[in-house]
Amino acid sequence: MSIFDYMQKYDYEQLVFCQDQNSGLKAIICIHDTTLGPALGGTRMWPYKNEEEAIVDVLRLARGMTYKNAAAGLNIGGGKAVIIGDPRQHKSEELFRAFGRYIQGLNGRYITAEDVGTSVADMDLIHLETDYVTGVSPAFGSSGNPSPVTAYGVYRGMKAAAKRAYGSDELSGRVVAVQGVGNVAYNLCRHLHEEGAHLIVTDINEENVNRAVNDFGAKAVGVNEIFSVECDIFSPCALGAVINDDTIPLLKAKVIAGAANNQLKEERHGDQIHEMGLIYAPDYVINAGGVINVADELQGYNRERALKKVETIYDNILRVFEIAERDGVPSYKAADRMAEERIASVAKSRNTFLQNGKTVYHR
Ligand SMILES: NC(=O)C1=CN([C@@H]2O[C@H](COP(=O)(O)OP(=O)(O)OC[C@H]3O[C@@H](n4cnc5c(N)ncnc54)[C@H](O)[C@@H]3O)[C@@H](O)[C@H]2O)C=CC1
Ligand SMILES: CC(C)CC(=O)C(=O)O
């Protein structure tokens, strides 16, 4: 499918290619939908094999942010960016500053933050060139690293999913298998450990595995073994597309609840796990804690207010299950309905009422 055909199919607004010879920057910014507000979503730095892989990733991730932000009740649209490169080798001040200038050129239509491969230090460099960056160091009045807050939201959502599956949200004594113990999942493991859950972990990074084993008494298993271990909850916290034809037959868990974006390889995999009776907490609903936290900066950051909103992920997950039951659909479809209904109702009200001059983000 051509890029324009794909953009038309899912109604994307804008795809921006950014190139800077001096720093070696090759980045793509995607703005999916700004009905609810400016597009907000993190920047992923990843050694994509080719341009096509990067384009597909940024398109999928940006659309996911539209749904995430809408389902979380934020007045924020969806966007995302990717930088093609190895975060362990290709980072430099020039590269992030060049990227920051491209963001500034979009004049607020896209606001960035951290994602896989980028850090608070990188956001600080971007901040030298643009106002449209969040998750910057707290010294600038910003919210800092979003990962611990994302983890708290995932923990809350996991409890809601457990309540649905087992009639109790108590996680003490439950076995949770965590795939990928990076920034988010390390903090998630801390909450789970504190509540008395038993942890099984894996990661391609041995240091991260050892940290979870030493700090939380987690049991380590191989990267392919994690799908088939005996557990109550499977928590994908690495990259996307892990719920697929190969992994579904291996799963022993009754609940899937994790931080990773785009967990279902294809929609049909969401249908399949639904038919098997698995309780799936839709990825973009359960992992919205980070974006809720950074979006709070747009009103002048208040951590207490942000965390209160992150708590509501528990209710949002239960609401998704209610819609799924009401409409007789899998939970991933119910989440889409929840997000789409909100976007449609806001779009309609903006057509109906005159603007009061304060709302500047209407289409
Ligand atoms: N950081 C945040 O606030 C948010 C993150 N997410 C999503 O959550 C996921 C994790 O994000 P972070 O913790 O920030 O990233 P991270 O890069 O710190 O952690 C990911 C971990 O997964 C490991 N990993 C990668 N491939 C693996 C594989 N095949 N098997 C096992 N482990 C593997 C990596 O070595 C790393 O330790 C990502 O999908 C991200 O998009 C979603 C919302 C917000
Ligand atoms: C600010 C980030 C934590 C938002 C984002 O990109 C995401 O939720 O995937």
- Our CA dihedral for 273, 72, 80, 302, rounded to 10 degrees, sits at -140
Share of residues in the chain with pLDDT > 70 (%):
96
Position 196 scores a pLDDT of: 98
DSSP tag of 13: -
Side-chain half-sphere exposure of 250, counting CA atoms within 13 A: 14
Does the model's ipTM exceed the 0.95 cut? yes
Q: Which residues are catalytic?
A: 80
Q: Whose CA is nearest to atom 2 of ligand 1?
A: 147
What does each C-alpha distance from 94 to 91, 120, 123 come to in angstroms? 9, 16, 13
Mean pLDDT of the chain: 95
DSSP, collapsed to helix, strand or coil, labels residue 199 as: strand
The binding-site residues of ligand 1, defined as CB within 6 angstroms of any ligand atom, are: 114-116, 146-147, 150, 179-185, 202-205, 208, 223, 237-239, 259-261, 287, 290
Which whole number is the average pLDDT over 352-359?
54
Which whole number is the average pLDDT over 247-274?
97
In the predicted structure, residue 361 carries a pLDDT above the cut 90? no
Domains belonging to the chain, first-starting first, are 3-58+77-134 (3.40.50.10860), 147-341 (3.40.50.720)
List, for residues 86-105, the tens digit of each pLDDT value: 999 999 999 999 999 999 99
- Closest atom of ligand 1 to 147 CA is 3
The binding-site residues of ligand 2, defined as CB within 6 angstroms of any ligand atom, are: 41-42, 68, 113-115, 135, 146, 150, 261, 287, 290-291, 294
Residues 6+ apart with CB under 8 A from 83: 25, 26, 27, 43, 44, 45, 46, 95, 99, 117, 118
Long-range contacts of 50-59 (CB under 8 A, 24+ apart): 51/84, 54/28, 54/82, 54/84, 55/3, 55/15, 55/28, 57/82, 58/15, 58/28, 58/29, 58/30, 58/82, 59/6, 59/7, 59/10, 59/12, 59/15, 59/30, 59/32
Report the length, in residues, of the chain: 363
Ligand nearest to the CA of 259: 1
Which residue is associated with the tokens 């090759």?
Answer: 26
- C-alpha 7/C-alpha 229 separation (Å) is 39
Q: What is the pTM of this model?
A: 0.94
Annotated binding site: 180-185
- Closest atom of ligand 2 to 150 CA is 3
CA of 134 to the centre of ligand 1 (A): 19
Position 362 scores a pLDDT of: 47
List, for residues 140-186, the tens digit of each pLDDT value: 989 999 999 999 999 999 999 999 999 999 999 999 999 999 999 99
CA of 22 to the centre of ligand 1 (A): 30
